[in-house]
Amino acid sequence: MEQRFERISNALTLPQESRERIRSQLAAYERPSGEVPRRKTTLRSRVSVIAAVAAVMMVLVLSAGAVAVQLFRNDVVVSGEDDIPEPTYHNGAPGGYVISRPSGEPPATLEEMIASARMITEKWDSEESINGGIYGYSQWDTLEVLSSDPALRTRRIGRKDGAEKLEHTAENPTNLLDVLTGNINFDLAWMNDHYDFVPDANMTSRICDKSGNLVIEFFRALYAKKDGTGYIDLSFDYVAQADYFGQAYILEDSYETAYYYTSADGLEYLITMDNGNVWVECRTSHAGISMHGAYLNTSEVEDILDNLSLAIQE
């Protein structure tokens, strides 16, 4: 019977047509260039920029069911690559890792950020913009605009198998709170008092699979400092099933500032700063709280974190 298994293994291959299709797709893949430099070079952030939804949790490899408690899976700050543990089958290291580094570029201007964010809405009625999504949800077939009211636009994007993406944009991000599922709860009242929201740079996106189960939910809002000297871009995502992946590391010397901060809500954030950029990350089993800001100091960042009243359902 072993010989028959071997023959089956040899015969059971990816169909040639699919192999060529997938290989072509991989070969044609282009990393985003000329994008507004709003993110660190991490997997999560790239996906966010490309597809306007965050997609993948970079977390330690753990068993699929062992995530009942809230665990923080932020990047680990190490002094050098030698400190990154070699994978073994016993230390949980997955055999691969990511090192996040700043690009060295100064932050985008507020005008560039607004222009970038508004790309989300400018093709609101166009089927040209319906493709793009998260892994496994990269192709869509239908688009239906449910509301074009600028206060809260809504559109439904569908796929033949029944999977669905529901998108909302709003002039005021507060209008988006009511359409969120509640897996990530937060309050924008303090933000609205201390920063100016940027109209039409705010959106949510929710993808459900063909059975109607939540796959991922994404929220984004852009706020400018009242004196116009800086901004903060908030990106929150919730992945229904954590996608176990690799641990990411930060080399401590690669950023001007890198430290962990625990907010008043008890969430652990990794705050990094470089050349005017500010990045804030809090990753849990299911959620990713990401922020990118420009020309904010640590006190201003910590004030934001302490006043969001963030709670994550794990």
Return residues touching another protein (CB under 8 A): 1-2, 4-9, 11-15, 18-19, 22-23, 25-27, 29, 31, 41-43, 46-47, 50, 56, 58, 61, 63-65, 86-87, 89-90, 94-99, 135-136, 209, 211, 213, 215, 240-246
Q: How far is the CB of 102 from another protein (least distance, A)?
A: 13
Q: Based on CB atoms, which residue is closest to another protein, 23 or 226?
A: 23
Residue 298: its H or E element: helix 298-306
Q: Based on CB atoms, which residue is closest to another protein, 14 or 264?
A: 14
Residue 153's DSSP bridge partners are 169
Q: Is 36 exposed, middle or buried (0-12, 13-18, 19+ CB in 10 A)?
A: buried
Q: How far is the CB of 204 from another protein (least distance, A)?
A: 20
Q: How far is the CB of 98 from another protein (least distance, A)?
A: 5
Q: How far is the CB of 38 from another protein (least distance, A)?
A: 16
Residue 217's DSSP bridge partners are 206, 238
Pair of tokens at residue 171: 């002039």
Q: Based on CB atoms, which residue is closest to another protein, 80 or 146?
A: 80
CB 274, CB 253: distance < 8 Å? no
Q: How far is the CB of 59 from another protein (least distance, A)?
A: 10
Close Cβ partners of 135 (under 8 Å, ≥ 6 residues apart)? 55, 56
Q: Based on CB atoms, which residue is closest to another protein, 171 or 243?
A: 243
Q: Based on CB atoms, which residue is closest to another protein, 162 or 182?
A: 162
* Residues 201-240: b if buried by 16+ CB within 10 A, e if exposed: bbbbbbbbbeeeeebbbbbbbbbbbeeeebbbbbbbbbbb
